[in-house]
Amino acid sequence: MFKTALVLAALLSLTAMVEAADAAGAAAPGQPAPSLNSAANPDGAFAPGAAGETPGANPPGVGRGRGGRGAMRVAPPPRPNPLPPFYDPKLPLQKRVDDLVGRLSLEEKVSLMGMDSAAIPRLGIASYRWWNEALHGVANGTATVFPNPTGLAAAWDVNLHHQMAAAIGQEGRARHAAQGSGLDFWAPNINLLRDPRWGRAQETYGEDPYLSGRLAVAFVTGMQGDDPFYFQAISTPKHFAVHSGPEPERHRINMVVTDQDLYTTYLPQFEAAVREGHCFSIMSAYSALNGIPDSGNKRLLTDILRDQWGFKGYVVSDVDAVADIYRSLAQLLPVQRCYRFCVGDPRGERPL
């Protein structure tokens, strides 16, 4: 699945396509490309690693809000001349994917895997900022502000929730067209409210897995749209999994739960978002589950998410979760033991 995430990171941030070159007033190869989401191209939404690629956001550390959220448009790099085959929307998706991946060096692949994907100027790929928020409206700028998620859940209205999420997706597209901000949103928060002292309780739909699951499906399908190929935007349900505070300890806490509690309490809403909502992104949590960090947890991210539920998209970690693992383990354990900590021993032994 590395290729899937890699291709999403690259193709999501492409700044030119053959379709744009054919449009009236489009730039020629070797010149900066216009936005694909202008009135002349209203169908420029992106697909799973396919078309409608978005202009870049700011470089790392630049933008508004904590961590550079709400980054603004920067000038895209010029398109290569001649255009590589992966720019051609008439080619089958897999051929475009294979062509793009085959052109990237190892260093370039690595540079695309962070929260701030670097520009690849030689291929016309702009930088891209993945951190965008939209729990109850597009954050950081002018947008409609809907009630907070706890209030939305109190309405018990799945259809209304779907309409709201569709409006958020549309406003996110408008923000992108005007400012070049991102088209993936880290929402909804479908963790359960197990303790009212949790500092982010208002972000959740409450304590019931079933209600949270119904609203999760409504939100994901509303935001992502109903086009069979193009996304309106990408929804990222979070935080997978067993993440319900306490907030000050989230970077180091180990959540110990039984399989019964895991499958009946903490996972149903995520399963619904994947199986029924077809979300194309999931965010892993900072915390650990039964001793294994969530962002490196093979059971959660591979065995359950992909093998059991059939998830086809990409996983993002919460902002510093991977760095937390590195800081906590890499300086204390040899590399081989760090690997075993996350994925288990290849000989079949249990993880440390």
Q: Are 332 and 202 in contact (CB under 8 A)?
A: no
Tokens 């081989």, located at residue: 336
Q: In what order do the strands lie in the sheet with 288-289?
A: 254-255, 288-289, 292-293
Tokens 């502000």, residue? 145
Q: Taking the mean position of all CA atoms in its chain, how far away is CA 239?
A: 12
The set of residues, in sequence order, having a beta carbon less than 8 Å from that of 278 and lying 6+ positions away, is: 220, 221, 224
**Which residues 6+ apart lie within 8 Å of 269 measured at CB?**
190, 192, 209, 210, 212, 213, 216, 237
Is the alpha carbon torsion for 7, 275, 239, 147 positive or negative?
positive
Gyration radius from the chain CA atoms: 20
For residue 162, CA distances in Å to 214, 216, 260 come to: 10, 9, 30
Structure tokens, 13: 């941030």
Alpha-carbon span 135 to 336, nearest angstrom: 39
Structure tokens at 42: 């209203």
Tokens of 330: 């890499």
Residues contacting residue 151 through CB under 8 Å, at least 6 positions apart = none
| DSSP summary character for residue 206 | -
Crossing angle of helices 209-224 and 158-179, in 10° steps, is: 40
Let me know: does 188 contact 219? Beta carbons within 8 Å: yes
The distance in angstroms from the start CA to the end CA of the chain is 25
| DSSP 8-state assignment for residue 327 | I
Identify any residues that bridge with 117 across adjacent strands, giving them in sequence order: 128
Which residue among 116, 294, 318, 324 is the active-site one? 318
Is 318 marked active-site? yes
Q: Tell me which residues are annotated as active site.
A: 318
